[in-house]
Amino acid sequence: MMYERRLPKNALAITFDDGYRNWYEYAFPILKKYSVHATMFIATDFVFKKNPLWVDRLEYAIGLENDDIESKINRDAEIRAQLKKVGSIERERHLAAIERSSSAEFRNFEMERAVYTPLTNTDIEAMKNSGITFGAHTKSHPILSTLSAQETEVEVRDSVIALKEVTHNISETFA
Ligand SMILES: [Zn+2]
């Protein structure tokens, strides 16, 4: 309807980002119960390659540090703000150093807290069958304005291609 430019009055679009498995466990049953359609924008390296999002690697590493919770929250926010301003290579270097210093290398979701786990292909199939539309949300969830034009193109184009391979029909919108 949106693309045909004939939306009803007070129409709204419900969208979600990233593709965490806890969305499937908590939000999806509610949408299903009320037959509400929504769009999920997927960070494709996170969901299909099971590469943790950089913000989760940071949170996990800081979480293991020997400090009180309030200091950890502040430190996480501070570093997160800094890392949002730098490019992917520099961010990776910083993150790896933080992970090394807190012995927190977190690569395998099976081993780590369920809160960071992405959707599975089975979840996606069930979502497709219940009125969820999919859209691309980059490969690795970078801040696009920190990337070169070429890196941006890869993040956008390859996430669209990876998502189409799994879900076939995808939204024309991008988040
Ligand atoms: Zn996101």
Ligand 1 centroid to Cα of residue 42, in Å, is 8
Model confidence pLDDT, tens digit, residues 131-148: 899 999 999 998 898 889
Alpha helices (H) in 27-87, listed in sequence order: 28-33, 44-48, 54-63, 69-83
| Res 4 pLDDT > 80 | no
Ligand 1 centroid to Cα of residue 74, in Å, is 21
Ligand 1 centroid to Cα of residue 173, in Å, is 14
CA dihedral 4, 161, 124, 109 (to 10 degrees): -140
Task: Note the pLDDT of residue 110.
Answer: 56
Model confidence pLDDT, tens digit, residues 107-130: 655 556 677 899 999 999 999 999
Ligand 1 centroid to Cα of residue 68, in Å, is 28
Residue 106 — pLDDT band, cuts 50, 70, 90? Answer: low
Q: What percent of the chain has pLDDT over 90?
A: 65
